[in-house]
Structure 1
Amino acid sequence: MSTGITMASMSRYAILGCGSVGHAVAEELVSKGKDVEILDRDEGRVEALRDQDLDANVADIRDESVVDEVADCDVVLILSSDVEANAAAVGNIRDRGGDHFIVARASDPVSADELTELGADVVINPSTVIANSALRALETGELEFKARNLAEVIDDTDDRMAILVHRSPDPDSIASAAALRDIATSRDVEADIIYEGEIGHQENRAFVNLLGIDLVSRDEVDISDYDTVALVDYAKGGEPATERIDILVDHYEHESDDLDTRFEDIRSNISATSTILTKYIQELDLNLSQEVATALLYGIRAETLDFKRETTPADLTAAAYLYPFADHDTLEQVESPSMSPETLDVLAEAIRNREVSGSHLVSNAGFIRDRDALAQAAQHLLNLEGITTTAVFAIADDTIYLAARSKDIRMNIGKVLDDAFGEMGEAKGHSTDAAVEIPLGIFTGIETTEDNRETLLQLTEEAVRKKLFDAMGVDSSGESNGS
């Protein structure tokens, strides 16, 4: 095959077989000032091409003499509808030592493989190209239709819109809500981003503070005061805290399938809700503020672990669009926040109480106030040598909170938590990142009091470890503290 040739250096082209596909390619190349030579065995077609001032000559592309005809060409496009003739042309060129860049037309996967084996650099199948083009047109049309519907629902708002995110929201939730608020603002509709729980993770706090994203606590508002209610990236937080939902945008399917919405866009084939909102920003042709661009880019990066987890082409193209508009100095500050004393205490406790079976680590962080610290502890412990899966649990407010991380491609940690605790709690997450909440009383069967908290912690620790190791399919009999 050809080597050392760049597209910039390709100045002379040969088209072998000039039916409808070849003709379209020839016209496009000529319009770009390229030097194109056409060979086709149909004399009438050649005459017609000459009438269009194209350099066309009669030749059977199967003949070995064609190799001499294209000797001075850098690129040879073999585009006949006769796949056998195309194969013969590729073979002749390569057998004669031709170092051309060859693009050949196939009719199906089998002929594509044959042409590649013969030496074609690029193989195209017009049917596949047309199908892909049709799908892209369909996606574009669908997005345009959905964007119009979203705008109509927002426009129906008389006074104010509520944008609800899941409990203790993460960057993807916050960024998506900020983008939807920008869309509403562009249509002269005021909106509040409403959250429950806490913004506990220090990166999340830095994210909100540095980008100046205003959030309103659920305790401070009455949802019934809002004309329009939107749920954005909410599924991870369980069932919605309101019966009225006008707008629903998420990259997770919701457990309830009977939600009555006026607008809904759920795409489980995309890894971040920020990606979905970026597409709407583009489709509605909004002027993207630096703050929202930075938020959306960070939301995508956080949700995909910097494009290392379940990243889709849509996530990458959205990130590429956002990149020039984002404030990268702010991103660096968000990604390097100071660690709170409590987070450090939780991490220290998790390190001290760790037990390891093979490459799997489980640890108990005791009683905590900041449950977001568990996720950070699980992530930090994943950096220990020889560890591929971590799970850190603790007790807060009569609830067992557990965060898990995994880089073991054989394990889906979200499924592990669901198998272990799905009947008594609610597990959410990905194959590499998951969490579960379990009411403490349900788990132990003992009513929680101040006097028995330590006893419950011990019982919980034993039961959680066993269930986790069993669900992971590893032998916990040889456990150690990893030292």
Structure 2
Amino acid sequence: MTGDNDERDPVSEFDSKRRVRSDRLLSVLEPYGRVVAVSHVNPDPDSLASMLGIRELIQKCQPGKPVIMTVDGIIARAENRAMVDLIPIPLVPVKSVAIDRETAVVMVDTQPHTGRRSSESATPHAVIDHHETGGDLGGVLYHDIRTHMGASSTIVTGYLLEQKVVISPQLATALLYGIESETTGYPREACSLDDGALVWLFPRADKELLARIRNPKLPQSHFATFQRALANAFLYRDLIFTWCGEVSQPDIVAEIADFFSRFDQVNWVLSVGLYEGGLKISLRANELGRQAGEILRDVVDGLGNAGGHDKRAGGLVALADASPQTVDQTLTELRRRLLAELEVDEHQGRRLLNDFSRIPAP
């Protein structure tokens, strides 16, 4: 098996030792007539940019080879939809793509059998990821897993540098936003290679395009979800536990968690929303070393799947039914388990905000 899981990368530049990684990837893909790029369900900017970068790498280094970029689930968040529409990024539903002997599968920003894909029927030939949630790499011909990096887009940017690929402003914008979206917040989950990639990409990116992606228009449902989350937020010592209700798209649960993590009295936030009959969960921690991914996996053990990083984690709990009773029972169990993990007394809890008055309609 060809692969790398060495965290002893130099901190200043992509040196000659690391330069061979893209050669290894390309040699694995060489015998195949086409490539299919896949990622996790409801792909985010990092996964979208990584697939786009892999396509450019293959098209420049193995001319004429078709590369199909796929989507598993939906493009949910407004910024992500803007990115797909404006770059643009052509995506094909993953369920519609047949994998045969002439097809190589490249998986980015996730790993096999981590609960982050709707199907694991095809073993990928190559896996490129930065997440700490380890997957089953059996049968994978090439893997490049670097958990100290903030984004998979940084790894792909390195491949393009290694092969001296001249990139377009659109691709530079996508990769820049992919890294930026993963490394914002404080403290940052990033290394010097992420910063180096950002410095290299910024002058090559389309700033107008970047601004449009960062600032999309939002539907009314977005603000309604924030209203529900504020009304159903509870404070337990330094933890906010909030219920978003039924949501129109799953990524807003993570947006709610990010929103509450800025509250100056908390170190932890867990937000939960009902989406397509299951509970979408996002956990945030305000300090490095908190092992949010490990904690959330323990919380949903036996109920669903979860994974993530030190500060950020996500998960999904499948429900036997979406009745109010089942939802309430599952929420109670999730809250009980999380409070136990964090050693917080549930009797310390109180509603975050009191009922607020309403003014007459203007």
Q: Taking structure 1 as the reference length, what is the TM-score of the superposition?
A: 0.65
Q: How does 1:328-347 map to 2 (within 5 A)?
A: 328-347=207-226
Which residue of structure 2 aligns with residue 476 of structure 1? 346
d(CA) in 2 for partners of 1:416, 1:263? 29
Which residue of structure 2 aligns with residue 106 of structure 1? none
Write the letter of the residue equivalent to 2:335.
R
- Structure 1 residue 410: Cα displacement: 6.7
d(CA) in 2 for partners of 1:336, 1:176? 21
- Structure 1 residue 252: Cα displacement: 2.8
Which residue of structure 2 aligns with residue 162 of structure 1? 36
Verify: 1:401 aligned to 2:271, yes or no: no
Which residue of structure 1 aligns with residue 6 of structure 2? none
- Structure 1 residue 328: Cα displacement: 1.9
- Structure 1 residue 214: Cα displacement: 1.0
Runs of 5+ unmatched residues, structure 2: 1-8, 354-362
Runs of 5+ unmatched residues, structure 1: 1-133, 442-447
CA deviation profile, 1:429-468 (whole Å, cap 9, x unmatched): 1121111111223xxxxxx27xxx1112222232222222
Which residue of structure 2 aligns with residue 264 of structure 1? 143
Which residue of structure 1 aligns with residue 46 of structure 2? 172
Contact 1:143-1:280 within 8 A present in 2 as well = no
Q: Report how many aligned residue pairs link the two structures.
A: 340
Q: Which has the larger radius of gyration?
A: 1
- Structure 1 residue 357: Cα displacement: 1.3
Change (3 A) 1:439 1:231: same
d(CA) in 1 for partners of 2:211, 2:340? 40
CA deviation profile, 1:211-241 (whole Å, cap 9, x unmatched): 1111111133223385221111122654662
Greater shift in the superposed pair: 406-415 or 428-437: 406-415
- Structure 1 residue 242: Cα displacement: 3.5
Contact 1:363-1:391 within 8 A present in 2 as well = yes
SS of the residue 2:42 aligns to: coil
Contact 2:115-2:305 within 8 A present in 1 as well = no
Which residue of structure 2 aligns with residue 327 of structure 1? 206
- Structure 1 residue 371: Cα displacement: 1.4
d(CA) in 2 for partners of 1:137, 1:407? 27
Contact 2:35-2:68 within 8 A present in 1 as well = yes
Verify: 1:145 aligned to 2:145, yes or no: no
* Identical-residue share of aligned pairs (%): 25
- Structure 1 residue 209: Cα displacement: 1.4
CA deviation profile, 1:70-90 (whole Å, cap 9, x unmatched): xxxxxxxxxxxxxxxxxxxxx
- Structure 1 residue 351: Cα displacement: 0.8
Which residue of structure 2 aligns with residue 274 of structure 1? 153
Write the letter of the residue equivalent to 1:267.
R
Q: How does 1:197-236 map to 2 (within 5 A)?
A: 197-224=73-100, 227-235=103-111
d(CA) in 2 for partners of 1:399, 1:389? 22
- Structure 1 residue 409: Cα displacement: 4.9
SS of the residue 1:223 aligns to: coil
42, 51, 59: which is aligned to 1:185?
59
Contact 1:389-1:408 within 8 A present in 2 as well = no
346, 356, 368: which is aligned to 2:247?
368
Which structure is richer in relative contact order (CA contacts within 8 A, separation 6 or more)?
A: 2
Write the letter of the residue equivalent to 2:105.
V
Change (3 A) 1:244 1:454: closer
SS of the residue 1:182 aligns to: helix
d(CA) in 1 for partners of 2:194, 2:258? 23
d(CA) in 2 for partners of 1:201, 1:138? 33
CA deviation profile, 1:173-206 (whole Å, cap 9, x unmatched): 1111100000111121220111211110111111
d(CA) in 1 for partners of 2:48, 2:10? 31
Which residue of structure 2 aligns with residue 289 of structure 1? 168
CA deviation profile, 1:324-356 (whole Å, cap 9, x unmatched): 101122222222222222222222111111111
- Structure 1 residue 308: Cα displacement: 4.1
- Structure 1 residue 369: Cα displacement: 3.5
